[in-house]
Amino acid sequence: MQILVAEDDRDIAGLIAHYMQKSGWQPHIATSGDEALAHARKQPVDVAILDVMLPGISGLEVCRLLRADRATATLPIIMVTARAEETDRIMGLEIGADDYISKPFSPNELVARVRALMRRMRRMQARTHLRVAALLTVAAVAALVWWSPATRLATRAAWRHAGTQMQIMVERVLPSREIRP
């Protein structure tokens, strides 16, 4: 699993990277917001851990830009910062972070939060895949009915109804935060 660690303090970045490696993951350290954003857009990343106060583009702005980009919109993001006030946490979560942890923090807690976030993402992906498979099955059956000579007369209305039902199902399957095909 690829982990992006965006932290300008080299000691903290090294500590996070060490614990990520110890957990069997491959960390990439970025020391500025610009570097973090460029890496996330260029390389596939499974989780981003962003410090709020980065040189160049702030971690909050990196989070906002990642959420706005179709390719990285669903990337799990954990914000890490020395700012522990409630308003700072709320701002990070409102911008699109999935979790927020204040410094000083336990590296083991951060690892546990990454694991929990990845479990949640895997469950969401599994549900989405099952629902898409169900939609494809409905589409295949509808196509067979459409081409059947015995039912050709009644199929136009059935096809319109099936299309409307499929559109409703797609909207239920893929919430607004997920990328629609």
Residue 148 lies in a domain: yes
* pLDDT given for residue 7 in this prediction: 96
Q: Give, in degrees to the nearest 5, the angle at Cα 141 between 137 and 146.
A: 145
User: Are 12 and 82 in a shared domain?
Assistant: yes
User: Are 94 and 150 in a shared domain?
Assistant: no
> Domain ends where: 82, 102, 122?
122
* pLDDT given for residue 124 in this prediction: 74
* pLDDT given for residue 21 in this prediction: 96
User: Are 50 and 88 in a shared domain?
Assistant: yes
* pLDDT given for residue 177 in this prediction: 45
Radius of gyration of the chain (CA): 22
Q: Give the residue among 151, 147, 127 at the shortest CA–CA distance from 139.
A: 147
Q: Of residues 100 and 142, which shows the higher confidence score?
A: 100
CB contact set of 43 (below 8 Å; sequence gap of 6+): 2, 28
Lowest-confidence region among 9-13, 79-83, 111-115: 79-83
User: Are 32 and 109 in a shared domain?
Assistant: yes
Residue 26 lies in a domain: yes
Average pLDDT over residues 120-137: 73
Quick one: 88 exposed, middle or buried, by C-beta within 10 A (0-12, 13-18, 19+)? middle
Q: How far is CA 40 from CA 37, 50, 58, 69, 106, in A?
A: 5, 11, 15, 11, 25
* Percent of the chain whose pLDDT exceeds 70: 72
* pLDDT given for residue 126 in this prediction: 67
* pLDDT given for residue 157 in this prediction: 63
The model's pLDDT over 53-89, given as tens digits with 9 standing for 90+, comes to 999 999 999 999 999 998 899 899 999 988 777 887 8
**How many domains in the chain?**
2
Q: Give the residue among 13, 24, 68 at the shortest CA–CA distance from 46.
A: 24
CB contact set of 21 (below 8 Å; sequence gap of 6+): 27
How would residue 141 be classed by pLDDT, with cut points 50, 70 and 90? low
Lowest-confidence region among 17-21, 164-168, 170-174: 170-174
Lowest-confidence region among 16-25, 33-42, 97-106, 151-160: 151-160
Phi, psi of 168 (to 5 degrees): -60, -45
Phi, psi of 178 (to 5 degrees): -85, 160
